[in-house]
Amino acid sequence: MMPAEMSSLESLAERFRGEWSGQHGFVMGAFDSELIGTVGCVREPRVKRLHIAVIWGVYLVSERRGHGLGRRLVLDAIAQARKWPELEQLWLDVTTTNLPARMLYLSCGFQSIGIRRRALKIGDRYYDEEMMALGMR
């Protein structure tokens, strides 16, 4: 999500409570007197996809990157997702140019399953996304 797409903190918190809490999703945060990192995960609601959950976002403030906090958030999200009955796969997408994030996900056990060419467009520039998956059972 781009900063320009962010809502106010209050409306974002309300959205998280309504859409991504409980049995179908969660948002986890890391705090150091203020919010410094987040990870969000949602389970597919359709019957044919109940075996899949998606990590839809991992974010750290720039000065906290490279110190293991991202790994902790991802591993905690994996552990939380494992609590969902019948979950078999955890998916995520990462921009192919984001090498630190890609290496983090690989080190947490995710494997590449494909590339979506020109998946994102920011201004006049296109970015490819790598689809990654982690077997949960």
Question: H helices within 38-115, ranges in order?
Answer: 69-81, 99-107
For residue 135, what are the β-bridge partners?
A: 89
Give the tens place of pLDDT for each residue, 1-17: 455 555 555 665 565 55
For the stretch 91-123, pLDDT in tens is 999 999 999 999 999 999 999 999 999 999 999
What is the number of other CB atoms lying within 10 angstroms of the CB of residue 122?
9
Instruction: Give the angle subtended at the CA of 106 by the CAs of 105 and 110, to the nearest 5°.
Output: 80
Pick the CATH number of 38-135 from 3.40.50.880, 3.40.630.30, 3.40.50.2300, 3.30.70.360: 3.40.630.30
* Paired strand residues for 10: none
Which 3 state secondary structure label does DSSP give 123? coil
